[in-house]
Each structure stands twice: as structure tokens, then as C-alpha cells.
Amino acid sequence: MSADKLSCELVWKSDFPSSLSSIFLSFDSKYVSAVSCNGELSFFDAIDGSLKYRLDISFPLICSQIDDTTMEAFVFGKNGVARVSASGQLLWRKNIKTPIINGVVSQYLKNFMICYEGNKIVIADYNAVPKYKGTIDSKGPISSVYASKNSENYALVTSAGDVFYLRYDGSVLWQFCINDNLSSVSMSKDGRVVFIGSSDNKVLCLHSEQKVLFNYALKSSVVCTDISEDGKYFAVGCSDGSVYVLNESGGTVFYDKPVGSVSKIFLTDNAQSILTLSDNRLITMYKICEKKSVEKCSNDMAAYIELDGAKINFTDGSLLKNKVAEDNEKYIEF
């Protein structure tokens, strides 16, 4: 099916009165978590958008993740991290002294990673026991991190254009460098395909064997990316509200501009539906379906421009420097 024969159909939406920091769609596409700047976690059914529970975590939140094997949610705030049960009960909450900029859960390993200011990272188990502490060697701050469903590896990008492919123990398997401000990273469920977006209007798809699969320039800044669970489709959300779905070769199979500025995007298996967070308050689930109208939107399609591959290269080597933090009685520093 070509892009001009497809459209998106609204399934459900939830409009929040207060600003949301982020949303997350579980790997099995059954649940959605949303966190707000005022410290509230909301947990939804992804099928119909019904609210399962709402919980006040008591500190401003940055992002959340869901382990779909347990339905537990992990929430990350500027100065804390918390674990919440499937029923919405707070299991534990830890205060962190060093400001957090991002966090991710590896349900395959039952670990989570916290990214701090200064490009420090900590990998801990589900009970918040530290297993690794180190520093990412990049001239720019960490902008995005991802852990896939069935892989022990992590992907991490920085605003300086560095892509790090990390082992479960924090060591660097390889580093990829590009002259762009990288904004988002996602991986296939087996961890073998890494999909990256930049605020310089570009997307880049890499194989874990250090191969470039495709790379393109779009018409507007890329804010968020995602890969369908089957690894066959790639979603892109842009600052102007444009939404793209690409196939394995980088071809556009779907394009639309249904919302405002998109800050988060998720794709269900086989690219059947798209979940977005737009304008920092509106969560929307769309179903991709055959267009009912004969009207064409080809004039809105982005013109893809192939990047110059000579500007990007891989470097091997361990680029993390171990750094042990001191414990504090008031704060728990991983």
C-alpha cells in the first residue's frame, strides 16, 4: 500500500489540563504511561484509552517506562526515581542528588539506566541496587537512551552527534559519529537495528554490525522516533506535527500532519496504529487505514535527500570512565 492511499483514523484521545513531560507505550502495545511536570503518573489501557490509575509521585517527572511482563511502571524525575506496581501502589521511591536528564528500563535484564547531568550513567537492578557507574565520553549532553525488549544492549545518543551502542555492563561495543544534534533513538526488539532522529531534520538507521541501512533529510526537525515491535516499520514525529512511517528500506509508507508539535511517537506491531504526544498535553491513538477519500496529499510529502555518507564514521573502543559516587544520608546517589 502506498503512502497516498493511507490515512489515520482517530481511535481515542486524552487531553490533559496540565503539561505532560512524556508518554510511553508498552512493548506489547497494551498499556500507556504518562508523566507530568507536577509529579503525576497516569496509567492507561492502550486499546480504548481508559484510565487504570493515577498516582502522585511527589516530585516533577521527566519520563516513564513499563515492564509489560509485570505491568510495573518506572518513573524518572529530575531528582528521583520510583517503581510502581501493576495496581498503582508505590513500591519504592529514591531521591537522587545529581540532576537526572533521562532514564530507561531494560525488562530483558530487569535493570534500569539513569542518565545524569555531566553524562554520568548508572545501571541498577529493579530494587535500585547499583550494578555499574560510569561516564559517557561526548562533547554534548545525553539526549536520548533506549533499551529494547529482547536484547541486553542499550543505545544512547548525544546532542554532539555521538551514538553509543552499550553492553549490559556499561561497556561500549561501538560508537558512531555524525555532525548533527541527535534528539531521539530507538531499537528493534532484538537490538539489532538502531533508528535515530536529529533536530537537523534527519533520520538515520543503523545495523548493530556497524552498517548504515538508510539515512534521509526531512522538511522539519525530528523530535522523536520509534520502531514497530516486528522491526519492519519506523515512525518519525516532527516539530511541525508531521508524522511519517517508513519501511525497512527507508521508503515512506505513510505520511500525515494530524496534530501539533509531536514530542513522543510510538508504533504498534505491523504499523497498525500510532500513539503520539502533541503540544505537551494531548495523547492520541490513531489507526492507520486505507484512505476513504480520493483526495491526494502527495504535495505535502517530504522530499527525502540522501545524506553524504562520507561525513559519518564508526570508532571502536571503550569510551566510558568508571566513576564511583559517594553515598549521602539524605539522598541516595546510585
Structural domain includes residue 327: no
Structural domain boundaries, residue 171:
3-315
For residue 270, what pLDDT is reported? 81
**206 occurs within a structural domain:** yes
In a domain, 324, yes or no: no
Q: What is the pLDDT of residue 232?
A: 87
In order along its 334 residues, the chain shows pLDDT tens digits of: 445 556 778 899 999 988 999 999 999 999 999 999 999 999 999 999 999 999 999 899 999 999 999 999 999 999 999 999 999 999 999 999 899 999 999 999 999 999 999 999 999 999 999 999 999 999 999 999 999 999 999 999 999 999 999 999 999 999 999 989 999 999 999 999 999 999 999 999 999 988 999 998 998 999 999 998 778 899 999 999 899 999 988 889 888 887 678 999 999 988 889 999 999 999 999 998 776 544 444 444 444 434 444 344 455 543 333 333 333 333 444 4
- Residue 308 DSSP label: -
| Count of structural domains, the chain | 1
Given this model, what pLDDT does residue 302 score? 43
Q: Is the dihedral of CA 259, 261, 264, 265 positive or negative?
A: positive
Residue 326 inside a domain? The answer is: no
87 in a structural domain: yes
- For residue 323, tell me if it sits in a domain: no
Q: What is the CATH number of the domain that holds 264?
A: 2.130.10.10
> What's residue 311's pLDDT?
45
d(CA 141, CA 138): 7
Q: Is residue 146 part of a domain?
A: yes
pLDDT at 320: 37
Burial of 66 (0-12, 13-18, 19+ CB in 10 A): buried
For residue 298, count CB atoms less than 10 angstroms from its CB and return exposed for 0-12, middle for 13-18, buried for 19 or more: exposed
Q: Is residue 158 part of a domain?
A: yes
pLDDT of amino acid 291: 60
Predicted pLDDT at 4? 52
Q: What is the pLDDT of residue 86?
A: 97
